[in-house]
Amino acid sequence: MDRSDLSEPLFALEAHRADMGETTIADLFAKDPQRFADFHVALDDILFDFSKHRVDRVTLALLLDLARAAKLEKRRAAFFAGDIVNPTEYRPALHMALRNMRGTPMQAAGFDVMPEVLAARRAMLAFAEDVRNGRVRGATDQMFTDIVNIGIGGSDLGPAMAAEALSPFIAPHLKLHFVANVDGADLADTLKGIALERTLFIICSKTFTTLETMTNAAAARKAVAAKLGEAAIAAQFCAVSAAPEEVAAFGIAADRRFLFWDWVGGRYSVWSSIGLSLAIGIGAAQFEEFLRGGEAIDRHFVEAPLARNIPVLMALIEIWYRNFWDYTAQAVIPYDQRLARFPAYLQQLEMESNGKSVDLAGTQIESATGAILFGEPGTNAQHAFFQLLHQGTEIVPVDFLVAVRPTAANLDQHRLLLANCLAQSAALMRGRPQAEVEAQMRAQGVSEEEIASLAPHKTFAGNRPSGTFLLRQLNPRVLGELIALYEHKVFVQSVVWNIDPFDQWGVELGKGLALQLAPLVADKNAPLDGLDGSTTGLLAQLRKWSAR
């Protein structure tokens, strides 16, 4: 693509940024009575309110020009057509096929993947139902009560996040556990208090070579063999992978191997058999609802006009902040305890996808790319880092997420949660002018001297942007919709930045170095040649302390 096509919209956006000057979000509301009506999109059970963002109608029009100049529609068509959109790994990225419920043909690099997708989905869901209903049992013929998913990154975060988000939908006789960290404490703590004979281990790894997962899988296998005998392994283990030979080599029985494909990126794999633990927990019908949610967003992304297209708007508004206002971070605050892992899930999705410094041609990118994403559930976050969001020198746009209908029993508590969510976005936007603070202090009888010294501390500049996702209720379909919205947001940004969002070369170097250092940690006499000074010093001290 000729990037010079972008110069005009980029220039126009720069000029518009200067024109906006001191105009505040509150000014934009004051000037435009239609603002909420036009600056929100309602789709199924999700309402996306972007009226508290620092954008006006001109901003949106110019951002859409930018997207068109980046050939978003053409690139989106190529993405859905299964073209090689991940050129550094020579692959398409076709996770949308995994939630294609009608099975209409979808090509990955010219080959219809749907027959395989449907067969793999059927096999995985049938097994999930069998485990759930006790038709598939452990080596001692007991029903499974505990499911331990062993995997990391995309082979962990998706099902772990979703299992917590959808905990009210999980069969009461089942407990789902997730082990990711190579720190042995993760597995050891998980195994404490669960009966191995009633535990099904699912080894999830696209490559089936990931150090953390293979180490934990070997440790779990050893624990099962020690307690139930080697012969029990076949009954207590199953695996999900895109590398069937490695799975077979581990000793997993043929009918316990669930597949996916190299055209499914790890961080996009929750829709595949990687979702097995979740499917066991919530059952096949609800898992299909989850897929239907993702599918609905695929349709929306392809069919809705760009100006009313939620992932397009999400992406462009963040680009506006990132590239024209130099905002470096993005907070995601779910006002929902069960979405506690959603920010961590999005960290992988967004930062592993768009944390890139070169474009598709390998040329250094001039502008900023992916933002630093962080978040915690509200209201806890209010009592932790919100101080910086309200009064710090960094401006951090926030995505607020809240469900109108609670899945927990206490309605009064839920109303407080909703009120807090709305209050925070309003406070970020409005702020509190110094004159208002002073007037209030005066009305409380505070001395002029104290007013002068305290008022600046109590003043909030406001004008801090946020978007709100109002969900009717957090259920499998809505969760599927939410995830797919963020996935497509990431894709749109990658198109404008012209980067490959489907590779992750940045994580390779550290993995390789860890393998080189492992023998030096294990053997205190191995020579420490060729290492940097800090690593040598740390290893020397580490050896001294491990000797004691």
- Kindly state the smallest distance separating residue 177's Cβ from ligand F6P, in Å: 18
> Of the two residues 212 and 438, which places its CB atom closer to ligand F6P in the complex?
212
> Of the two residues 138 and 265, which places its CB atom closer to ligand F6P in the complex?
265
Asked if 286 is part of the footprint of ligand F6P (rule: CB under 6 A), the reply reads no
DSSP for 93-130, please give it.
--GGGGG-SS----EETTEE-HHHHHHHHHHHHHHHHH
Interface residue with ligand F6P among 71, 76, 95, 267 (CB under 6 A) is: 267
**What binding mask, one character per residue, do residues 472-511 give for ligand F6P by CB under 6 A, x or -?**
--------------------------------x--x----
Segment 340 to 369, residues that bind ligand F6P, using CB under 6 A: 352
Indicate the helix (H) or strand (E) that contains 507. Answer: none
> Of the two residues 119 and 507, which places its CB atom closer to ligand F6P in the complex?
507
Catalytic status, residue 352: yes
Q: Considering only the stretches 128-136, 200-208, 331-339, 427-435, report the one whose residues sit in contact with ligand F6P under the rule CB under 6 A.
A: 200-208
Neighbouring CB atoms inside 10 A of 303's CB total 8
Asked if 210 is part of the footprint of ligand F6P (rule: CB under 6 A), the reply reads yes
Local structure of residue 445 (DSSP, 8 states): T
Catalytic residue selected from 31, 227, 383, 524? 383
Segment 140 to 159, residues that bind ligand F6P, using CB under 6 A: 152-155
Asked if 207 is part of the footprint of ligand F6P (rule: CB under 6 A), the reply reads yes
- Kindly state the smallest distance separating residue 207's Cβ from ligand F6P, in Å: 3
- Rounded CA separation 258/249 (Å): 14
Query: Of 215, 217, 499, which Cα lies nearest the Cα of 354?
Result: 499
Task: Give the count of residues interacting with ligand F6P (CB under 6 A).
Answer: 14
> Of the two residues 409 and 509, which places its CB atom closer to ligand F6P in the complex?
509
> Of the two residues 82 and 501, which places its CB atom closer to ligand F6P in the complex?
501
> Of the two residues 456 and 510, which places its CB atom closer to ligand F6P in the complex?
510
Contacts of 516 (CB under 8 A, 6+ apart): none
- Kindly state the smallest distance separating residue 96's Cβ from ligand F6P, in Å: 18
Segment 211 to 230, residues that bind ligand F6P, using CB under 6 A: 213
Pairing verdict, β 40-43 and 398-405? unpaired
- Kindly state the smallest distance separating residue 209's Cβ from ligand F6P, in Å: 7
Segment 363 to 422, residues that bind ligand F6P, using CB under 6 A: none
Query: Of 328, 339, 351, which Cα lies nearest the Cα of 401?
Result: 339
> Of the two residues 163 and 396, which places its CB atom closer to ligand F6P in the complex?
163
Catalytic status, residue 511: yes
Segment 20 to 39, residues that bind ligand F6P, using CB under 6 A: none
Catalytic residue selected from 197, 352, 376, 481? 352
Residue with smallest beta-carbon separation from ligand F6P: 266
- Rounded CA separation 211/201 (Å): 17
- Kindly state the smallest distance separating residue 267's Cβ from ligand F6P, in Å: 6
DSSP for 408-441, please give it.
SS-HHHHHHHHHHHHHHHHHHHH-B-HHHHHHHH
3-state SS of 4-65?
HHHHHHHHHHHHHHHHHCCCCHHHHHHHCCCHHHHCEEEECCEEEECCCCCCCHHHHHHHHH
Query: Of 533, 120, 58, which Cα lies nearest the Cα of 324?
Result: 58
- Kindly state the smallest distance separating residue 453's Cβ from ligand F6P, in Å: 51
- Kindly state the smallest distance separating residue 243's Cβ from ligand F6P, in Å: 8
Query: Of 199, 261, 290, 222, which Cα lies nearest the Cα of 478?
Result: 290
- Rounded CA separation 272/253 (Å): 20
Q: Which long-range contacts (CB under 8 A, 24 or more apart) does 257-263 make?
A: 258/120, 258/123, 258/124, 258/127, 259/120, 260/98, 260/120, 260/206, 261/108, 261/113, 261/116, 262/89, 262/91, 262/206, 263/82, 263/91, 263/92, 263/93, 263/94, 263/108, 263/109, 263/113
Catalytic status, residue 227: no
> Of the two residues 270 and 455, which places its CB atom closer to ligand F6P in the complex?
270
Interface residue with ligand F6P among 9, 159, 266, 275 (CB under 6 A) is: 266
- Rounded CA separation 409/91 (Å): 46
- Kindly state the smallest distance separating residue 62's Cβ from ligand F6P, in Å: 34
Residues that bind ligand F6P (CB under 6 A): 152-155, 205-207, 210, 213, 266-267, 352, 504, 507
Q: Tell me the catalytic residues.
A: 352, 383, 511
